[in-house]
Amino acid sequence: MANLGFVGLGVMGSGMVKRLLSAGHSVTGYNRTKSKAQRLLDAGMKWGETPRAVAQAAEITFSMVTNTEALRAIALGPDGVLAGLGSGKVFVDMSTVSPAASRDLAAQVAAKGAQMLDAPVSGSVSTLEEGKLSIMVGGDRSTFDRARPILEAIGPKVTHVGGNGLAVSMKIATNLSLAVQMLAFSEGVLLAEKSGISREIAVEVLLNSVIASPIVKYRGPFVLKMPAEAWFDVNMMQKDLLLALEMGRGLDVPLPTTAATNEMLTAARAMGFADKDFAVLFEALARMAGMKR
């Protein structure tokens, strides 16, 4: 069993730590707000006063934060993860951030004699709890082989996609489709509903049709009842779409459906839905269509 660290104990980070503890690993954790980590502390997690302290205590330190700026905040500076790394240690960032920023941080980690992997995930709170999360990993192959058994305690499908930064590139390419599919599903439901079919029946038919991808199956029901707590909110999804659009410009890849969906996320924010799960795209579109619950 490994001696691990984990920085960033939000909804997904907390769920990952639970799985690591259940697998028998020792975990030292840090979160900006300590009170949010109390259930994990009660479950046996140790506490690190700073990200640096977590990295000093662990063989492999994981992080799961909201964006590129948050990653830099927990990684850099005198109390950051980087300051606690040394020869033989591994830093695994599971956040969805700028690929260029991830590669830059990996170079700084290597200068400390340590190794970094970018390891974002595909899935949600429900897939994590069910043990069905898939993980993409970028970085040195031997470092990947070392971390793989631990990553498999978080999710059973772990794939090495190439060098540093390529896993976050793959994650961004994946996430743009989540939002696009949710918007297309919403369009179908609303078109059916406004033609005279009940919303509930339209959802049932679509969830049992050829368009029912995994994302549609687990988020489609949200058009009938949104979760009390966002699994992945509008701000977070729009952050990922903006990263995708930035990549598209740099690589000369047109992303027309991504651009249109990004505009709908802006509309959702303007309607006050920024902190709602991004499935609220349906409600934003419904208002534009003159539909009410």
Residues designated as active site: 171
d(CA 267, CA 281): 9
d(CA 122, CA 133): 6
Distance spanning both ends of the chain, measured CA to CA: 51
Residue-wise DSSP of the chain:
--EEEEE--SHHHHHHHHHHHHTT-EEEEE-SSGGGGHHHHHTT-EE-SSHHHHHHH-SEEEE--SSHHHHHHHHSSTTSHHHH--TT-EEEE-S---HHHHHHHHHHHHHTT-EEEE--EES-HHHHHTT--EEEEES-HHHHHHHHHHHHHH-SEEEEEESTTHHHHHHHHHHHHHHHHHHHHHHHHHHHHHTT--HHHHHHHHHTSTT--HHHHHHGGGGTS--SS-SSBHHHHHHHHHHHHHHHHHHT---HHHHHHHHHHHHHHHTT-TTSBGGGHHHHHHHHTT---
d(CA 24, CA 206): 41
